[in-house]
Structure 1
Amino acid sequence: MRAARYYDNSDIRIEDIPEPTAGPGEVLIDVAYCGICGTDLHEYLDGPIFCPSATEPTSWTGETAPVTLGHEFSGVVSGLGEGVDDLAVGDHVVVEPYILAEGVDTGPDSVDYHLSDGMNFIGLGGAGGGLAEKIAVKRRWVHRISPEVPLDQAALIEPLTVAYHAVKRSGAKAGDVAVIGGAGPIGLLTGAVLKAFGATVIVSEISELRRQKALESGAADHAFDPRETDIAAKARELTDGKGAQVAFEASSVQVVLDTLMDALRPTGVLLIVSIWGHKADFDMHKLVMKEIDMRGSIAYVNNHPETIELVESGKIDLAPFITGRIGLDDLIDEGFDTLINRNETAVKILVSPND
């Protein structure tokens, strides 16, 4: 089968590799769509990070480069390994793409398996990936979805779950005013979750296309260009002078972090959902004087069922966030290049490995 293989920084190759089979406790999936994630771009530009090098593994699989990329994907069950009797061939599924050490408690009551030692991701650290025609995945990480949810939209459930976990971590609730700094895929999807929760959402974003997408998709009530509008003043204007209850940093940009600190009311919550590749110059005095509660959020933990329910119930429509569909051969030229050099023109680009 054909797959996108990560060899090293700026070295991704489309190659033929052996097809996987479903071993005991595994599910074989024909991949329908796989999204290109910002993490994939970081691996291409600055890696290896989560990905292994040719000599050093980064996950419990022990694999070294090359590895197959892709962790935001949907597909159809095409085979079941021994012991898997609660799924059927033909089921539509998405994957919670974790690679964890043996023995980690991943039961329904766990709130921290995503923070376990050596955590990594399918499609980054090894174990196959969604940028391939097929993948075999442990049953624990496979989630069935309604066939009424189109498979292209289902590929966005993984990043939507990142957003859902961030919103839950923030404690945002109906009636709150939330400010989101950065309207890339995670920022927009965070807005969609907040709106489903009943919050009022303000987006700060310099890209006109992404501001329009925030409004047209219903992910935001207000969207402003911070070069033209004082975001903190707008937040106070919309909250009787108090400021927002919660803010989400989704850009890893210093000036955005500073703006959100100003936009929050005293005792507000600042949730960091972006991945920072550098240290921030943080105003600790302002945090102390406003008693800001600053929290981090990474990935998800037992959040997929609730996120899937939001999509299946129609409370969140993922269609507006898909801005491109390409084949595997166009991964670099039309996928990575667009998102790296013209990212203001796109939100989520999907790859169909079987086309």
Structure 2
Amino acid sequence: MRFVKAARWHARGDVRVEEVPDPVPAPDELILRVEWCGICGTDLEEYREGPITIPVDRPHPRRGSRAPVTLGHEVVGRVAVAAADGSGPPIGALVVPDVVIGCGECWWCLRHQEGLCVELAVRGQTEDGGLATFMAARARTCLVVPEGVTAAEAALVEPASVAVRALAKAGSVAGASVAVVGGGTIGQLVARVAAAVGAAHVIVVDPVAERLALARRHGAAALRPDEVDGVYRTVDVAVEASGAASALPLAVRLTRRGGITVALGIAPEPVALDRIDLVLGEKHLVGSAAHLWDDDSSVALDLIASGRVQVADLVSHRVPLDNVLDAIELLDNRDPTVLKVLVDCA
């Protein structure tokens, strides 16, 4: 039996790089040799506060998986073993795998809303993901990366998909004003995607000067939270991409009467909203979480491949797989210069 290296979540505060058996694919799955895998806030929260979605006390109801589990859902790699059923890309193709897996049978899956499946599985959370030298993925939902896009850039397709889906929740933003509360990696991507799809005006709100400067370099207006008084109730769409307790109430206040607020950030504590403003202003508040490989990820990949959305400057750190705990600590330290941390799994 061959063994591969993987970063495995065992318990809160316990992530180990260890040798595990080679993944065994189903007939419709391929095996990727992973090149890069991004670390994000979800991985950090599982390390710091988990288990949140990782199955521990009982296995996943359909997939049967349980901790320890290999983390990592922002993945890009090359096909090492093609799918036995002939589906998907050939050996050697550079691909971004889909990580969202529905049961395929429920009300939501039958309407192509797999992210809402009550038995949802996510690679890197409920079952083995891409912080490993090799991983399995459903072949037909792998997106082939076009020539001209580097593997490191392709590792940003998954977070860019989050931005694409969040804006899609508001319908078309062409000609609209968009405010993004939170200037981290996701917030920067929301701002760039909004501009790329035709938003007339984009504002990024963040307390960190470095992140405001980055937003300005890509054409957005940039304000600290204490500078937004004149913007209250003026924007068509506000996207909360921070997770801070104050961020969602601020996003709702920025939204005009009849406008749309999209909540992306996840915070453990409840937040208080101005119900009078929300109700009398007939504002729409909607959450956005999972993304779909064809509706969201393919759009994100096209935006990156065409150059309409630049992502290379969002990669602030690269670390080898053996040092994955350093990558997690980079995010945990809340250094404002840390944006996307990529793990070299090759």
TM-score of the pair, normalised by structure 1: 0.90
Among residues 35, 39, 44, which one is paired with 1:32 in the alignment? 35
Give 1:306 deviation, angstroms. 1.9
Give 1:96 deviation, angstroms. 1.5
Matched, 1:90 2:92: yes
Matched, 1:252 2:243: yes
Q: Equivalent residue of 2:328, what SS?
A: helix
Using the TM superposition, name which of 273-282 and 57-66 deviates more: 57-66
Separation in 1, partners of 2:338, 2:88: 38
**What's the counterpart of residue 149 of structure 1?**
149
Change in CA separation of 1:183 and 1:93 when aligned onto 2, cut-off 3 Å: same
**What's the counterpart of residue 314 of structure 2?**
321
**What's the counterpart of residue 14 of structure 2?**
11
Separation in 2, partners of 1:118, 1:196: 34
On the 8 A contact 1:157/1:308 being kept in 2, the answer is yes
Once the two structures are superposed, residues 81-108 of structure 1 have per-residue CA deviations (whole angstroms, 9 ceiling, x without a partner) of 311244211111001202322535898x
AA partner of residue 94 (structure 2): H
Separation in 2, partners of 1:316, 1:171: 19
**What's the counterpart of residue 239 of structure 1?**
none
Separation in 1, partners of 2:148, 2:106: 34
Change in CA separation of 1:281 and 1:85 when aligned onto 2, cut-off 3 Å: closer
Once the two structures are superposed, residues 209-229 of structure 1 have per-residue CA deviations (whole angstroms, 9 ceiling, x without a partner) of 22222222x1x52111224x1
Query: Which consecutive residues of structure 2, in runs of 5 or more, have no partner in the other structure?
Result: none
On the 8 A contact 1:180/1:248 being kept in 2, the answer is yes
Once the two structures are superposed, residues 95-145 of structure 1 have per-residue CA deviations (whole angstroms, 9 ceiling, x without a partner) of 1202322535898x944221111213101101x211000011122331112
Once the two structures are superposed, residues 298-318 of structure 1 have per-residue CA deviations (whole angstroms, 9 ceiling, x without a partner) of 121332222221122221111
Among residues 267, 273, 283, which one is paired with 1:282 in the alignment? 273
Separation in 2, partners of 1:327, 1:59: 34
AA partner of residue 37 (structure 1): C
**What's the counterpart of residue 189 of structure 2?**
189
Separation in 2, partners of 1:58, 1:146: 35
Length, aligned pairs only: 340
Matched, 1:214 2:212: no
Separation in 2, partners of 1:93, 1:39: 22
Matched, 1:68 2:70: yes
Separation in 2, partners of 1:287, 1:208: 30
Change in CA separation of 1:59 and 1:205 when aligned onto 2, cut-off 3 Å: farther
Q: Percent identity?
A: 32
On the 8 A contact 2:104/2:114 being kept in 1, the answer is no
Change in CA separation of 1:25 and 1:322 when aligned onto 2, cut-off 3 Å: same
**What's the counterpart of residue 255 of structure 2?**
264
Query: Which consecutive residues of structure 1, in runs of 5 or more, have no partner in the other structure?
Result: 237-241
Separation in 1, partners of 2:88, 2:7: 30
Separation in 2, partners of 1:90, 1:21: 19
Separation in 1, partners of 2:88, 2:244: 45
Matched, 1:303 2:296: yes
Separation in 2, partners of 1:86, 1:114: 21
AA partner of residue 337 (structure 1): E
On the 8 A contact 1:105/1:113 being kept in 2, the answer is no
Separation in 1, partners of 2:194, 2:23: 39
On the 8 A contact 1:50/1:120 being kept in 2, the answer is no
Separation in 1, partners of 2:336, 2:256: 30
**What's the counterpart of residue 346 of structure 1?**
338
On the 8 A contact 2:98/2:138 being kept in 1, the answer is no
Separation in 2, partners of 1:255, 1:106: 32
Query: Superposition RMSD on alpha carbons, in Å?
Result: 1.9
On the 8 A contact 1:326/1:352 being kept in 2, the answer is yes
**What's the counterpart of residue 292 of structure 1?**
283
**What's the counterpart of residue 139 of structure 1?**
139
**What's the counterpart of residue 167 of structure 2?**
167
TM-score of the pair, normalised by structure 2: 0.93
On the 8 A contact 2:83/2:139 being kept in 1, the answer is no
Matched, 1:243 2:234: yes
Separation in 2, partners of 1:82, 1:255: 50
On the 8 A contact 2:53/2:125 being kept in 1, the answer is yes
On the 8 A contact 1:161/1:304 being kept in 2, the answer is yes
Separation in 2, partners of 1:347, 1:25: 35
Give 1:59 deviation, angstroms. 5.6
Change in CA separation of 1:105 and 1:19 when aligned onto 2, cut-off 3 Å: farther
Change in CA separation of 1:104 and 1:304 when aligned onto 2, cut-off 3 Å: farther
Q: Equivalent residue of 1:316, what SS?
A: coil
Once the two structures are superposed, residues 167-203 of structure 1 have per-residue CA deviations (whole angstroms, 9 ceiling, x without a partner) of 0101242221111111111111111110101211111
Once the two structures are superposed, residues 229-279 of structure 1 have per-residue CA deviations (whole angstroms, 9 ceiling, x without a partner) of 1x141x26xxxxx71111011112232222222222211111111123222
**What's the counterpart of residue 336 of structure 1?**
328
Q: Structure 1 segments of 4 or more deviating over 6 A?
A: none
